[in-house]
Amino acid sequence: AQSVTQPDIHITVSEGASLELRCNYSYGATPYLFWYVQSPGQGLQLLLKYFSGDTLVQGIKGFEAEFKRSQSSFNLRKPSVHWSDAAEYFCAVGADDKIIFGKGTRLHILP
């Protein structure tokens, strides 16, 4: 069955520090992978997507993610976080006519 696992429920980093959010997926075919961000009380905003080609994809707000087929992973990274990055981050895989989401990782930023 298709699934997405985000092993970290909460992550806390200091402002200016680097960030990596983990994501593993289970999908039989070539995956279409997404990272979305949700600020409190808001909808979801697409950060980046991977469909094919270069396995390192760049997104908005300085985020990037790397697709590793051998590890079934699609980790999200940012070299230096800002206080405004505090939010919940969802990894997702496109499957048939729907998107399957992980449970999310809530990012906290220390001043």
By CB under 8 A, name the binding residues for another protein.
Answer: 4, 32, 34, 36, 41-46, 49, 51, 90, 93-104
From the CB of 43, what's the least distance to another protein, in Å? 4
Of 49, 108, 48, 45, nearest in space to 81 by CA: 108
Q: In this complex, which beta carbon is closest to another protein, that of residue 97 or of residue 111?
A: 97
From the CB of 15, what's the least distance to another protein, in Å? 25
Q: In this complex, which beta carbon is closest to another protein, that of residue 14 or of residue 30?
A: 30
Tokens encoding 63 = 């985020």
**Distance in angstroms (rounded) separating the CA atoms of residues 106 and 90:** 9
Of 31, 24, 38, nearest in space to 85 by CA: 38
From the CB of 70, what's the least distance to another protein, in Å? 22
One-letter amino acid at 3 equals S
